[in-house]
Structure 1
Amino acid sequence: MSGEVSMIGSVILALFLAGYLGQQYLPPPKPRVIGLDLGTTYCSVGVFNPGVGDVEVIADEEGRKSIPSAVSFTLTEVLVGHEAQDLADSNPQNTIYDAKRFIGKIFDPNLLEQESARYPFQVINNNGSAEFLVTTNLTFTVSPEFIGSRLLLKMKQMAEKHLGMQIEKAVISVPAEFDERQRNYTIRAANLAGLEILRVINEPTAAAMAYGLHKVEVFNVLVVDLGGGTLDVSLLNKQGGMFITRAMAGNNKLGGQDFSQRLLQHMMDQVLQTFGIAVSLKEDVHRLRQHADEAKLNLTLQPSVSVRVPLQLQAAETPAAGKPPVLFQMTVTREAFEELNADLFQKILEPIKTVLVEGRLKAEEVDEIVLVGGSTRIPRIRQLIRQFFGKEPNTSVDPDLAVVTGVAIQAGIMGGSWPLQVSAIEIPNRHLRKVNFN
């Protein structure tokens, strides 16, 4: 009997030794499960590299690690991501974005009409579900999950090109407040893109994983997720590797797009004041919008930026053939940008206060403040959060890529990648509700 035990022990030891030597001297296997962040405004795809043990966020052919969550329909093709976003001003009725706001959701007719009023494309009611009306050489409708599927297919193709292999399995993130129907429709979108979803993970939990909080002893984690179009604040309780979402609040009509819009309107006012002509051409609006977005990004690092934009400045209905463009120039300071958005920035604190009240927690009892979403890079926003809590928020992870990083870690776990990671276990909170500020 002792001989048999000794033999089994030798076999196990040999297997461990073979595994160790394989890790040390053989090229690591390629990841077979991808992590997907299907965001409202931008989306990303990442992988956990076996052997190396790090996360790689996959870039597109231009080196960009996020693609706009936009799909544009033309007479000849369907464009996705940056190419679609470029048509947002020239083909507004057929360029669909923010589809995540509608996916799997049942709407009251009045609420859907109210929600759709803010978009240049047409949203119609199909028995309580939202669909988008598209008119090219034909008129047809597409569902939110179809729009999602085109974005997911684009990211799947990016991953396949980068890895040099076919990808069929993925882990995907969703907002913590998504109900079962919304989660199922998100999975349906992935299935339409040819992907099998192994697990759905909440975005705040994914962000916490990106910061490594699933592996350290913290209890109360506050996640502030401020992206291009939405603000979501979640209070997580964590013990060991288990997370429970204790409270949620947010504003689904507040984000980086609103800050850019304030700056765009200011620039258009300055054009009128300088030249005495209002901006009317779609091409001029598009150029100004691009420069407003660029200025907003640069002001996170610099105290001021110079804007130089060539404009046609002519009435759309009476174009002046051959008229040379004028050059609009202005300097935008960080102080001026903060003044333009002062009331919007203050609104960020409202859901933070609410989740603390709902979670019966004082500000000083929060162990970690995690920032997610590119808009949390804005210095004034970080300052407001720092002043409110009296401590520095955790900024050790790129906020644009925090969610996709966490999802990629979970994808590595589902794929059995080495070195092994601690999986985050989410405990459903059936009584949870999200408080919305609009």
Structure 2
Amino acid sequence: MSGEISMIGSVILALFLAGYLGQQYLPPPKPKVIGLDLGTTFCSVGVFLPGSGEVEIIRDQEGRKSIPSAVSFTTTEVLVGHEAVDLANCNPQNTIYDAKRFIGKAFESEVLKEESARYPFKVMNNNGSAEFEIFTNHTFTVTPEFIGSRLLLKMKKMAERQLNVPIQKAVISVPAEFDERQRNYTVRAANLAGLEILRVINEPTAAAMAYGLHKVDVFNVLVVDLGGGTLDVSLLNKQGGMFLTRAMAGNNKLGGQDFSQRLLQYTTEQVQQDFGVPLTLKEDLHRLRQAVEAAKLNLTLQHSTTIRLPLHFHSSESSEGSAPAPVLFQSVITRKLFEDLNEDLFQKILAPIKTVLTEGHLEKQEVDEIVLVGGSTRIPRIRRLISEFFGKEPNTSVDPDLAVVTGVAIQAGIMGGSWPLQVSAIEIPNRHLRKTNFS
């Protein structure tokens, strides 16, 4: 009997030794489960690399780590991401964005009508569900989950090209306030893209995982997620590896696009003052909008930046003799000017923060960790505003644009059994949770 036990022990030891040597000297297996962040404004895909334990964010062919959440329909093809955005100005009624706002959501007629008035494309009401009407060589409608599926398919192909293996399985993130129907429709979008979803994880929990908070001793975590179009604030209560969302609040009409719009308004007024002519040409507006967006990004690192671009004030399709030469518009934009233009919008960020603390029965000094998510949280004034309110610095150790996809990729590695094994984050459902919305 003792001989049998000794033999079993030897076999187990041999297996452990073989596993260790395999980890040390054999190339690690390719990851086969991807992590997907289907964002309102941008999407990203990441993988957990077996062996190294690192997360790799998959880049597109131009080396970019995210793609715009836009899909454009033409008479001959369907364009996704950056290619779709390039057509937005000349094909506005067939370029769909912000589809995540509509996916799986049941609308009252008046609410949907009010919501759709914000967009250049046509939003239809199909028994309380939103659909988008497309006008190409014929007229047809597409659903929000179809738009989502095109974005997810694009990211699936990006991952397959990078990893050189077929991908069929994924973990996907959703906003914490998504109900069962919205989650199911998000999964349906993934299924349309040929993906099996192994787990749906809340975006704030994914962000907390990216910061490693599922492995450390913290209790109360505040996640401030400020992207291109929405603000979401979540208060998480963590015990061990389990996360409970205690309170949520936000503003679904506040984000980086609004800050850019203020700067765009300022520069268009400056153009009229300088040249005495309003800026009406689509091409000029498009170039100025791009320059403004670039200036906003530069001001996160610099105290001033210069917008410099030629303006035509006249269509290039006009006869050559009557088309005036372009003029050069220049404007120095300081960080202080940008902050002054947006100060009232920045102050709106504090309202949902105060609400989640009140609803979570928590004093601000009881928050152990403040996590920033979304590219707009890079804005120095916003970081300063949050740190002044709490009396301590927020955690900025992770790229805020990629925090959610990083956490989802870690969860994908867990679901795929990748080595080294990670601690999984377990979400405790809070059936009584409601999100407070500001506007």
The residue that corresponds to 1:165 in the other structure is 165
State the Cα deviation string for residues 197-254 of structure 1 (Å, max 9, x = none). Answer: 0000000000000000000000000000000000000000001100000000000010
Report sequence identity in percent: 80
Q: CA deviation at 1:9?
A: 1.2
The separation in 2 between residues aligned to 1:251 and 1:322, in whole angstroms, is: 45
The Cα of 1:322 is off from its aligned counterpart by 3.8
Asked if structure 2 preserves the Cα contact closer than 8 Å seen for 1:280 and 1:315, the reply is no
d(CA) in 1 for partners of 2:381, 2:143: 38
Equivalences for residues 81-160 of structure 1 within 5 A:
81-160=81-160
Q: Distance in 2 between matches of 1:416 and 1:318?
A: 62
TM-score w.r.t. structure 2 length? 0.98
Task: Give the distance between the partners of 2:313 and 2:51, measured in 1 at CA.
Answer: 57
Instruction: Evaluate the alpha carbon distance shift between residue 19 and residue 315 of structure 1 in structure 2; reply closer, same or farther with a 3 A threshold.
Output: closer
Verify the 8 A CA contact 2:314 2:323 in the aligned structure 1: no
- Partner SS, residue 111 of structure 1: helix
Aligned residue in 2 for 1:70: 70
How far the C-alpha of 1:87 sits from its partner, in A, is: 1.4
Is residue 397 of structure 1 aligned with residue 385 of structure 2? no
- Counterpart in the other structure of 1:351: 352
| Aligned residue number for residue 57 of structure 1 | 57
Amino acid at match of 2:219: F
The yes-or-no answer on 1:232 pairing with 2:270 is no
Which residue does the alignment assign to 2:253?
A: 253
d(CA) in 2 for partners of 1:49 and 1:317? 52
1:411 aligned partner: 412
Aligned to 1:203: 203
1:212 aligns with 2:212: yes
Q: Secondary structure at the match of 2:402?
A: helix
1:350-389 → structure 2 map (5 Å cutoff): 350-389=351-390
Structure 1 length-normalised TM: 0.99
Alpha-carbon shift at residue 310 of structure 1 (Å): 1.2
Matched residue SS, 1:186: helix
- Name the counterpart of 2:264: 264
Equivalent positions of 1:198-347 (< 5 A) are: 198-314=198-314, 321-347=322-348
Does the C-alpha gap of structure 1 residues 316 and 26 become closer, same or farther in structure 2, counting only changes over 3 Å?
closer
Please list the CA deviations of residues 108-141 of structure 1 after superposition, one character each: whole Å capped at 9, or x if unmatched: 0000001111111110100000000110111110
**8 A Cα contact 1:150 1:193, kept in partner:** yes
How big is the shift at 1:314? 2.9
In the alignment, residue 368 of structure 1 is paired with which amino acid?
A: E
SS at match of 1:342: helix
Deviation at 1:318, TM superposition (A): 7.3
Once residues 159 and 315 of structure 1 are traced to their aligned partners in structure 2, the CA distance between those partners, rounded to angstroms, is 41
For structure 1, list consecutive stretches of 5 or more residues without a partner in the other structure. Answer: none
Is contact 2:316–2:323 with CA below 8 Å preserved after alignment?
no
Distance 1:137 1:316 in 2: 26
Q: In structure 1, what is the Cα distance between the partners aligned to 2:138 and 2:325? A: 37
Query: SS state of the match for residue 134, structure 1?
Result: strand
CA distance in 1, matches of 2:357, 2:142: 40
CA distance in 1, matches of 2:316, 2:52: 56
Q: CA RMSD in A?
A: 1.2
Q: Distance in 1 between matches of 2:139 and 2:235?
A: 44
Number of residues of Structure 1 aligned to a counterpart in Structure 2:
438
